[in-house]
Chains A and B, each alone.
Chain A
């Protein structure tokens, strides 16, 4: 039973990442009808927003500290971040410590900008081209983005720790009356899950309860009619692309403490996210979120020792296996709408 709860919890954080990326993919597909292979690269760019901000915050200058001496008695040179000069020692240290959460504010405008530029500059020209062309050009774009990031940040993983307050684990077992220490779960993963749940809820609320969202939903259902009503639907879809990019980016920002970012992390997530979108049903936002969590949890169950012993290798292939079964038995995916790319 403990194992069971633990695996559900373990699946949640990976599932949230899948769900967020798949949500963005589905937003883009549902509004613009474009299959975006560069979405994983957006996730990766988000993660590197966090890396960049923490590097900016730790920009420092050298100060000769008279109070400390090295073993020869000379005064020691100390690197002092500028931020500590401006806000004082303690406050500066806290700001640096909280770099990852602060990156959220930093990443939102950047990711929206990147999304809008990408849509206006490239994807706009591919609406009328076949899906295969869209896949190919975004695939090329993903390679280019990856290589640029690799050029500036190197190929190695860059550790980006969570704030000190969230380091350590939470004894989940004690909370629900199990013996202490049986089910422990890192604090940051709880934060990640809550953050993604909040973000998903925000996206849905935005689409459901604002006029802008209503127009977008109408455009998803029938783009031409909305256009004929005199609404500039293209501009709204461009903004939606920016929002989808921001969602992927934020998923990346918050994921950095769980898994140190490197330049190809996006591609690793992308393949699975596509599977998630297809399992959830092309064009269905709810389906994408549901499938993301379901597959994340299934994946962590498959890595249970007992399961691996019964079916060796299942932990590696379970997601693909589920995808194949779903695609063959339920052509529309879990919650797919009728008439959206059924063949």
Chain B
């Protein structure tokens, strides 16, 4: 289907199903139950899952295929965000121009940075991208304030001079409120809530817009991974010098890959402002670039599904883990004797709430040390364990039969 082989079609369909039913799947616990705070099925978080999924898929196209570790990818996300907000401010409140423009602007920006950075490889490439991203961040936060809103950030306002206030169904400032981004009259923050039994499921318009775009992005990534172009990029990763000796110029391939990756980041930025029309400079800081690296590594570099898993996992940790506090821990361990209960709470305390970064750091280190392939490799290993057991038992039976 769609020019994919059976396995990839299966993968795409599974991802599509997961994404489509995410509002239900992510809310496994009834409302008002003790475990309800582990529910991740609220619009804001689900939007972030898919948006950062797109960001990580794009980063993985660069790092996973070619092995070039960019430490400045957040710059493209930031540039995309600014471009998106300006479209919402100047053109129309409809999100389509914003999303398209943010992708294009990030693409142009990545041509510029990629052209220079790709002249070096290895750690120098990492440092160059880092330097460019830090430069963009510093400029966006200071000198470029008229364009970027400086440290307060850029957002849509009441009196934005839109060229087409009514174009494509975009409503004007009705009721004196700042208009919300929308798609042909469908507001991004509009939700349909469905209550079944104790469960409350929220189906959010913005989430589904992001999800559909994410599926398209995922499909494109699969096609890139399976194409001759993708093979060429893998060849760059395994031995670029040999490739050059055979008379191939790898530069255009690398630049194309870098630009595609940058456009994915820009797309993610555009979607981010389409959901919440606010863009700040801190989105470009190098910690943000580090985050996408974490996501990709955690999920599994060079795998198709890995980055999406990693993005989901980190965002889940960030939102859910950081909400757990001591009172809750005391509730959970209430069945223990008092001394033991306090001890358990004291042991776990540094890892939760504000300390979730510590958990993240430890988890990340463990993954890099023991599971260089990330969660996907972990899954494969567990799968392999069962398979091997099965094989062993079959050989056992065979050997007993032979005896």
Q: Is the CB of B127 within 8 A of A328?
A: no
Given A143-B364, A271-B286, A313-B138, is A136 in contact with B128 using a C-beta cutoff of 8 Å?
no
Question: Is A191 located at the chain interface by the 8 A CB criterion?
Answer: no
Question: A42 to nearest B CB, angstroms?
Answer: 16
- Among A129, A135, A317, max chain B CB count under 10 A is at A317
Give B265-294 as 1s and 0s: 1 = Cβ < 8 Å from A's Cβ atoms.
000000000000000000000110010010
Given A143-B360, A147-B358, is A271 in contact with B365 using a C-beta cutoff of 8 Å?
no
Q: Is the CB of B121 within 8 A of A343?
A: yes
From A343, which residue of chain B is reached at the shortest CB distance?
A: B121
Question: Is A141 located at the chain interface by the 8 A CB criterion?
Answer: yes
CA distance A287 to B281 in the complex (A): 33
Q: Is the CB of A316 within 8 A of B138?
A: yes
From B131, which residue of chain A is reached at the shortest CB distance?
A: A320
Chain B residue contacts of A328, Cβ below 8 A: 116, 119-120
Number of A-B contacts (CB under 8 A): 110
B-facing residues in A205-259 (Cβ within 8 Å): none
Question: Is A324 located at the chain interface by the 8 A CB criterion?
Answer: yes
Question: Is B99 located at the chain interface by the 8 A CB criterion?
Answer: no
Chain B residue contacts of A327, Cβ below 8 A: 120, 124, 127-128
Q: Is the CB of A137 within 8 A of B365?
A: yes
Question: Is A128 located at the chain interface by the 8 A CB criterion?
Answer: no
From B113, which residue of chain A is reached at the shortest CB distance?
A: A324
Question: Is A91 located at the chain interface by the 8 A CB criterion?
Answer: no
Q: Which single member of B116, B123, B134 contacts A135 (CB below 8 Å)?
A: B123
Count of B interface residues, CB-CB < 8 Å: 40
Q: Is the CB of A131 within 8 A of B361?
A: no
Give B113-155 as 1s and 0s: 1 = Cβ < 8 Å from A's Cβ atoms.
0001001111110111011101100110111100000000000
Q: Is the CB of A144 within 8 A of B362?
A: yes
Q: Is the CB of B357 within 8 A of A143?
A: yes
CA distance A268 to B365 in the complex (A): 21
Question: Is A79 located at the chain interface by the 8 A CB criterion?
Answer: no
Give B33-49 as 1s and 0s: 1 = Cβ < 8 Å from A's Cβ atoms.
00000000000000000
Q: Which single member of A147, A271, A317, A331 contacts B130 (CB below 8 Å)?
A: A271
From A274, which residue of chain B is reached at the shortest CB distance?
A: B127
Question: B287 to nearest A CB, angstroms?
Answer: 8
Question: Is B157 located at the chain interface by the 8 A CB criterion?
Answer: no
Given A137-B365, A143-B357, is A278 in contact with B127 using a C-beta cutoff of 8 Å?
yes
Question: Is A201 located at the chain interface by the 8 A CB criterion?
Answer: no
Q: Is the CB of A341 within 8 A of B123?
A: yes
Q: Is the CB of B139 within 8 A of A144?
A: no
Give B330-368 as 1s and 0s: 1 = Cβ < 8 Å from A's Cβ atoms.
000000000000000000001000010110111011001
Question: Is A1 located at the chain interface by the 8 A CB criterion?
Answer: no
Chain B residue contacts of A331, Cβ below 8 A: 120, 124
Q: Is the CB of A140 within 8 A of B365?
A: yes
From B136, which residue of chain A is reached at the shortest CB distance?
A: A317
Q: Is the CB of A151 within 8 A of B67?
A: no
Q: Is the CB of A131 within 8 A of B297?
A: no
Question: Is B369 located at the chain interface by the 8 A CB criterion?
Answer: yes
Q: Is the CB of B355 within 8 A of A136?
A: no
Chain B residue contacts of A323, Cβ below 8 A: 127-128, 131
Chain A residue contacts of B142, Cβ below 8 A: 313, 316
Question: Is B259 located at the chain interface by the 8 A CB criterion?
Answer: no
Question: Is B372 located at the chain interface by the 8 A CB criterion?
Answer: yes
Question: Is A132 located at the chain interface by the 8 A CB criterion?
Answer: yes
Question: Is A275 located at the chain interface by the 8 A CB criterion?
Answer: yes
B-facing residues in A99-137 (Cβ within 8 Å): 122, 125, 129, 131-133, 135-137
Query: Footprint of B on A, CB under 8 Å?
Result: 35, 122, 125, 129, 131-133, 135-137, 139-144, 146-148, 150-151, 267, 271, 274-275, 278, 282, 312-313, 316-317, 320-321, 323-324, 327-328, 331, 341, 343
A-B contact sample (10 more), CB < 8 A, given A147-B357, A331-B124: A122-B369, A136-B293, A271-B130, A282-B123, A313-B139, A313-B143, A316-B135, A316-B138, A323-B131, A343-B122
Would you mind naming 26 contact pairs between A and B with Cβ atoms under 8 Å apart?
A: A129-B372, A131-B122, A136-B297, A139-B293, A141-B361, A143-B358, A143-B360, A143-B364, A146-B357, A147-B355, A147-B357, A271-B130, A275-B127, A316-B135, A316-B139, A317-B134, A317-B135, A320-B138, A324-B116, A324-B128, A327-B124, A328-B116, A331-B120, A331-B124, A343-B120, A343-B122
Query: Footprint of A on B, CB under 8 Å?
Result: 67, 69, 116, 119-124, 126-128, 130-132, 134-135, 138-139, 141-144, 286-287, 290, 293, 297, 350, 355, 357-358, 360-362, 364-365, 368-369, 372
